[in-house]
Structure 1
Amino acid sequence: MRVLILIVLVLSLWSCNSSEDRVFEAVSSNGLLKLNFNLSEDGKPYYLVTRNNKVVIDTSYLGFEFKNAPAFDKHFIIKKSETETHIESWEMPWGEQEIVENNYRELRVMLQEKVTPERFLNIIFRVYDDGVGLRYEFPKQARLSEVEITEEHTQFNLTQDFNTFWIPGDWDIYEHLYSTTKLSEIDALKYVGHVNLAQTYIPENAVNTPVTMVGEDGLHLSFHEAALVDYSGMTLKVDTKNLNLESHLVGSENTDYKVKRSLPFHTPWRTIQITDNAPDLIESKLIVNLNAPNKLGDVSWFKPMKYTGVWWEMHLGKSSWDYGMEMVDGQWKDTGKAHGRHGATTENVKRFIDFSAENNIGGVLVEGWNTGWERWIGFEDREGVFDFVTTYPDYDIDEVVRYGKEKGVDIIMHHETSAATETYEQQQDTAYALMQKYGMHAVKSGYVGKILPKGEYHHGQYMVNQYNNAAIKAANYQVAVNAHEPIKATGLRRTYPNIISREGLRGQEFNAWAEDGGNPPEHLPIVAFTRMLAGPIDFTPGIFNIKFDEYKKDNQVNTTLAQQLALYVVIYSPVQMAADLVEHYEANPEPLQFIKDVGVDWQTTKVLNGEVGDYVTIARKERLTNNWFLGSITDEHARTFEIDLNFLDANQEYEATIYRDGKDAHWNNNPLAIDIEKKTVNNSSKLTLVLAEGGGCAISIIKKE
């Protein structure tokens, strides 16, 4: 891991007097963004942000409410302030790019109450060229040793009625379709009790983050948080009348506070990405930069990979997770014998291993391998249900691992906790030790269902700690974690690079069984500029059998085949699933070639064009080969782009294989129409991309010797 700190310059200013004549500010290195901080007449802390001398975030107040203690929101004086210029570059062990620049100006303000009990609070701001981060620091102090936070009041006072891309502030799940409305028209409460969700709780007219906005003047904003550790997840309550957002922490039914911490500590960063255009939002590294450097050291034991697996076939109904469930007298019962539909059999997994080995795919995920699936469905008390080391009789884990090693294919473990956190916590060491024994370095974890213990929510402090502690413990066993039904990504992959990917959105599986028709064509062109800003997404692309009528006539994937290929470049993850069934790939060897070729670990990423919710085109350069891959997707509207390949190396020819929508392609009427063309290109070439409705284009650009 290479880290280079070029400049750190700190300037300290002391003040015990009024701050009325003092200016407390930090300006970005390019001079465009400026953050100002001060106190109101009654000592309320506030900040505002300008860009090009135009107010972006107007006067916005900061503070806390506590249980059994006076609020932290006024009667402050500024005791001291420090400013710092920080210029740094660091190396991603895996990621969208190899070297990340981390340049910011920091303003640290030390506050003290001027009334009893005269407590202390520090507020830190970091100003980047493309946004702002702010966090609170509770320093060690004699008059305060512990806080029970009932609410955090961090305001974002907006200056226009932005077009907003949002999902409701659900305390339990992020698996909602995005809505696109004016900020003043947000109504999150209309999504209460959504039919397609296993659990959901929406108590306020609030939105989850990242939430992205586009102004009439082309200004792009996205609000989120970074470095979420031992704290509650943040939603943003919406004041539709005054165009104001304010932090609203996820709570618990088991406590009358939302966060409990001993001093000293600091909160997560509250982040605002601010750009002139949509592509710069994706290229921003503000979220990951606001996290602490790598604490794990060498993680070369994790290898970014493509993988197949026993997964999609269960969503289609071809097979099942359980070994012996049958419908008896209108109820699911464990019959005690195999019903013949179990997916995770030795024979079936070997079939996936063979296919993966033949097609440059490094891993196979196996779901439904372990006992407990029969006792999960329909049971309120799920503690003690799953066993994370005991296999079903028809799955020989020793033979599967041996066969995979013979073929050069890794087995990816699956831990479905069913949200029974105490059971998983008790078994983690044993489960991770089993993985270490077999040389398994990646696990997909799941938390489907209402959290146990009852009264906790997926996004509260209790579960934030569950998710983070599971990953930190996994690192001790050289295990990387891909979490589903997770807490949101907040850039912790920098600090703990074994946190490789996660779900945290409405994924591909909704196309197989959702009652509302699945994910519409606009879904992923929104996701690229919202959820993907938070971090890697395990979306499971690559469905070739778009209609799957032989399994489910009322469901389908709402994209073209070419878009499914393009997703391997557009939607970033260091683990990318070839999610369809082996037989569907074997029937389509020509488009399969793109999945065989495409990389997963990148030296450079360039976002060539894009508009939030409409379309996006991304090119990525593979680390080991220096080959390039391009993906372009659109919503329900057909589009034509001219792409300049000037990002290619000079004096180098490449063979471009172009996988484009066929002439009459359409996401619903003709999704499988695809044309494949090869041509020689270089850095002076231009390509015209023609995308059908709900379509896309994928291009491999391979160096010629």
Structure 2
Amino acid sequence: MYKLLVFLICTLYIVPLSAQELKSPDGSFVLFFSLNEQKSPVYSMKYKGRQVIKPSRLGFEILSGTAQMKEFFELQGIERSSKDTTWQTVWGEQRLIRNHYNEMLVSLLQEGRVMKIRFRLFNDGLGFRYEFPEQDKLSAFIIREELTEFNLAGDHKVFWMPGDYDTNEYLYTTSKFSEIGALMKKATLRIKSQHPIANTAVQTPLMMKSDNGLYINIHEAALVDYPAMHLNADVKTFGLSAHLVPDAWGGKGDINAPANTPWRTVVVSSDARNILASKLILNLNDPCRYDDVSWIKPVKYIGVWWQMFVGKGTWNYTDHENVKLGVTDYSRLQPNGTHAANTQNVKKYIDFAAKHGFDQVLVEGWNVGWEDWGGKVRENLFDFVTPYPDFDVKELQRYAAGKGVKVMMHHETGASVSNYERRLDTAFRFMREYGYNAVKTGYVGWIRPKGEHHDGQFMNNHYLHVARTAAKYKMMVNSHEAVRPTGLHRTYPNWLAQESARGTEFEAMSGLPPEHTTILPFTRLMGGPMDYTPGILQTIFSYHNPAKTKQAGTTLVKQLAYYVTMYSPLQMAADLPETYDRFADAFQFIKDVAVDWDDSWILEAEPGDYITIARKARGRNEWFIGGVTDENRRTATIDLRFLPRGRQYTATIYEDSGTAHWKTNPMSYRIRKVKVSSKTVLKQALAPGGGVAVSIKETD
């Protein structure tokens, strides 16, 4: 359970009903709130005297009934409070997190209806949400649209992807804000089961940089019982406005008072490193809901997975394309001979995991139904308990247990959510019976029931239902094709990680540009950890299969650096075991690197260009550093002042060779050891598309 540390300051008082100001604890931020001439709620914000958000409207258009919660309000009251506490994480980038803010709760009255807006101003930015207390004149309603605006102060540089109700697997586009509309068609790549927003809209987290050097990140926190927020972009006025994901009936959120919306977040700094270091989104989520968290453990794993992407195996057992759950007799079908999730192959992975100290082995394609999947819309395709004839569940449980390794479950739902929910308890009981304690879920395809979207209110409730149900059985969850995270892993820490972005699998399918992973920490990872599946050391894929013409947009060393720069408590060594045998000296870093941390330091950062991060392993006197760059060669400055003073350490440096290049010579690397201390500053060369990985231990 979380522990409350340090101290708490809380005051409450009423102030006059006029235009209001709220300052952050350090005074860097000032928020202004008032009612305009139409008596609509309006806010604006400055950071160190510089305008961040110009006057911006708040409120709702309502689909049901006649009430419109957007104007003709009266200011009923203001309550102010402050809080300064420190809490302990179950797992994370640091063990202790300070939660320090000043708060203003605005109560608004409109013809007997009450709407409240709660503002919290931290030293790194703003969070605010709408609250609807229990009341007679506003009990239940359907939102037509949330009217929240973020009117920007200029034509900022923006790192964005197209708004879409069903996928967040686009590449990021970097442009001026005013160029978003002209670039939207090009940016909207062809993706399975996509639903792009018709107007000029972008997804959150949205990262920006102003001409006067401010870094601005807009997202949301604690997305519970509500649709995800995209942002309409007005390229002429530099305005952003909320665009909620609709449900099957056209509504954008069913509200039943008492109810709160998610928090809208704006993180700001003149130093890009502070954006990555911000814990504002986590602080806006509720504390852990579980009394016992002893069963929740960070995981380092390998898996029967990558061989399917490089053409050395298949998910399906046969090539018969028409199967029916509970009817098809697989013993009568001819095996295709390429099914990867077979008992003998999985045993090889278990042996490898045991030999090299990995916790678990993910196995995809173990259960019947994959022949007729392919992203097709099917209501009853998987039952999550029936294995293929060549996958011996009992034997693999016995074998893995004898090696001290867990097998990780895979539940691909084919987006048939109603089917999955019907079978969920049965599936978790099956997992518990056969020794599983973690599951990777998938939602590829069009959501069933029809008309619902991956990012809609129905699905957001579903993802939480899975996490909560998993907790009853002491299971950990890693969700793919789900809504992007909003810090809910603080409240439900068994929800270890998500995909929710374009990850490593796209290296084999269409390629990823070198800048991709210098943007993701400023965007997708702001809300929570990603199962990016790094560690691809054989970066030229024709080595496995001549038909695979793509190669990774990285050097080998950059893949090592991801274990530090792409934070997750769930880290995969995604390449094939035989690849790691060939690169055993480089593989050592993956074996050594931690997945849970006492503290983290952002040493260098510029979105789209480079990131260098250092972290201390939780409960161990070991430190790890990862640095990555885009397509440009650069020199990283690595200041080791975070090390305890007066001691000597040995740093093992995994670096690109002098001729390394992500495209022409990606697997050329060197390993060297140097003596270092807290006074050491390393100047480290990074190849184009390259990186650096460093492990540091105290010298005996």
TM over 0.5: yes
Moved more, 70-79 or 4-13: 4-13
Aligned residue in 2 for 1:426:
422
Confirm or deny that 1:487 pairs with 2:483.
yes
Counterpart residue number, 1:4: 5
The share of aligned pairs that are identical, in percent, is 46
Partner of 1:586: 581
What is the deviation of 1:327? 7.8
Matched, 1:76 2:73: yes
Deviations 1:412-466 (A, max 9, x none): 1110001000110001101111222233221110000111111111111111111
Say whether 1:520 aligns with 2:521: no
Residue number among 523, 530, 540 corresponding to 2:523 in the alignment: 530
CA gap 1:584/1:463 in 2 versus in 1, 3 angstroms: same
Which shifted more, 120-129 or 337-346?
Answer: 337-346
The runs of 5 or more residues in structure 2 that have no matched partner are 323-328
CA distance in 2, matches of 1:484, 1:189: 25
* Structure 2 equivalent of residue 66 of structure 1: 62
- In structure 1, what is the equivalent of residue 470 of structure 2? 474
Runs of 4+ in 1 over 4 A off after TM superposition: none
CA contact under 8 A between 2:106 and 2:117: conserved in structure 1?
Answer: yes
- Superposition pairs of residues 247-646 of structure 1, within 5 angstroms: 247-252=242-247, 254-325=248-319, 336-377=333-374, 379-380=376-377, 382-514=378-510, 518-549=511-542, 550-551=544-545, 552-646=547-641
Distance 1:211 1:318 in 2: 38
Does the aligned pair in 1 maintain the 2:555–2:656 contact within 8 Å? yes
State whether residues 111 and 122 of structure 1, in contact with CA within 8 Å, keep that contact through their aligned partners in structure 2: yes
Contact 2:541–2:549 (CA<8 Å) still a contact in 1?
Answer: no
Name the aligned partner's letter for residue 441 of structure 2.
S
Q: TM-score, normalised by structure 1?
A: 0.95
Contact 1:633 1:691 (8 Å CA) reproduced: yes
Label 1:202 to 1:543 Cα distance change in 2 as closer, same or farther (>3 A): same
Cα offset, 1:192, TM superposition: 8.1
Tell me which of 127, 139, 142 is aligned to 2:121: 127
Deviation at 1:528, TM superposition (A): 1.7
* Cα distance in 2 for residues equivalent to 1:24 and 1:398: 65
The answer to whether residue 197 in structure 2 is matched with residue 202 in structure 1 is yes
Alpha-carbon distance in structure 2 between the residues aligned to 1:535 and 1:111 = 33
Counterpart contact for 2:376–2:445, Cα < 8 Å: no
Report the alpha carbon displacement of residue 378 of structure 1 after superposing the two structures with TM. 6.2
- Structure 2 distance, partners of 1:488, 1:84, is 31
Partner deviation per Cα, 1:149-169 (whole Å, 9 max, x = no partner):
110000001111110000111
CA distance in 2, matches of 1:527, 1:360: 29
CA distance in 2, matches of 1:26, 1:438: 55
Cα deviation digits, residues 511-553 of structure 1 (max 9, x gap): 1112xxx110011001121111111010000001100213244
What residue number does 1:695 align with? 690
1:502 Cα shift?
Answer: 0.3
SS at match of 1:47: strand
| C-alpha distance in structure 2 between counterparts of 1:193 and 1:276, whole Å | 31
Hey, what does 1:170 align to over in structure 2? 164
Letter in 2 for 1:520: P
| Partner SS for 1:678 | strand
Distance 1:378 1:614, change over 3 A: closer
Name the CA distance, whole Å, in 2 between partners of 1:367 and 1:100: 36
Asked if 1 retains the 8 angstrom alpha-carbon contact of 2:659 and 2:665, the reply is: yes
- Report the AA paired with residue 228 of structure 1: L
Rounded to whole Å, the distance in 1 between the matches of 2:15 and 2:684 is 59
Residue 229 (structure 1) aligns with: 224
Change (3 A) 1:192 1:571: closer
Per the alignment, do residues 499 and 191 of structure 1 end up closer, same or farther by CA in structure 2, a change over 3 Å counting?
farther
Shift of 1:304: 0.9
Aligned CA distance change for structure 1 residues 459 and 327 (closer, same or farther; 3 Å): closer
- Structure-2 separation of matches of 1:422 and 1:46: 41
Deviations 1:344-379 (A, max 9, x none): 111111111111111121111010111111121364
Match of 1:26 among 22, 30, 43: 22
* In 1: Cα distance, 2:491 partner to 2:120 partner: 18
CA distance in 2, matches of 1:440, 1:601: 21
Residue identity opposite 1:25 in structure 2 = E
* Residue-pair matches, total: 688
Distance 1:588 1:14, change over 3 A: closer
Q: What residue is the counterpart of 1:108 in the other structure?
A: 105
- The secondary structure found in structure 2 opposite 1:281 is helix
Q: Encode CA deviations 1:140-182: one digit per residue, 9 max, x unaligned.
A: 1111210111100000011111100001111100000000011
Question: Is the CA contact (8 Å cut-off) linking 2:170 and 2:188 kept in structure 1?
Answer: no
SS at structure 1 position matched to 2:682 = strand
The Cα shift of 1:700 comes to: 0.6
**Take 1:215 and 1:293, find their aligned partners in 2: how far apart are those partners?**
34
RMSD: 1.6
Residue number in structure 2 paired with 1:54: 50
Structure 2 match to 1:652: 647
Q: Residues 294, 637 of structure 1: CA spacing in aligned structure 2 closer, same or farther, 3 A cutoff? A: same
Instruction: Check whether the contact 2:610–2:628 (CA below 8 A) recurs between aligned residues.
Output: yes
After superposition, the Cα gap between the structure-2 partners of 1:358 and 1:161, relative to the gap in structure 1 and judged at 3 Å, is same
Report the more deviating stretch, 526-535 or 205-214. Answer: 526-535
Deviation at 1:7, TM superposition (A): 2.2
Q: Quote how far apart the aligned CAs of 1:605 are.
A: 0.6
Mean Cα deviation higher: 458-467 or 400-409: 400-409
TM-score, scaled relative to structure 2 = 0.96
CA deviation after TM superposition for structure 1 residue 297, in Å: 2.3
Provide closer, same or farther for how the CA distance between residues 403 and 578 of structure 1 changes in structure 2, counting only shifts above 3 A.
same
d(CA) in 1 for partners of 2:15, 2:279: 33
Over residues 26-54 of structure 1, what are the superposed CA-to-partner deviations in whole Å (9 max), with x where a residue is unaligned? 21111110111111122110111011122
Aligned twin of 1:245: 240
Alignment partners' CA distance in 1, 2:286 and 2:266: 18
Aligned-pair CA distance for 1:200: 3.3
Q: Which whole-Å deviations, capped at 9, do the CAs of 1:258-289 have from their partners, x for residues lacking one? A: 11121110000000001112111110000111
* 2:148 match: secondary structure: strand
The answer for unaligned runs of 5 or more in structure 1 is none
| 1:71 aligned counterpart, secondary structure | coil
Mapped partners of 1:355, 1:504: distance in 2: 29
> Could you list the per-position Cα deviations for residues 618-676 of structure 1 after superposition, in whole angstroms to 9, with x for gaps in the alignment?
00100121200000000000001221111111222222110000110000100000010
SS of 2:492's equivalent in the other structure is coil
Once the two structures are TM-superposed, the CA of residue 688 in structure 1 deviates from its matched residue by: 1.5
Q: Report how far residue 562 of structure 1 moved.
A: 0.4
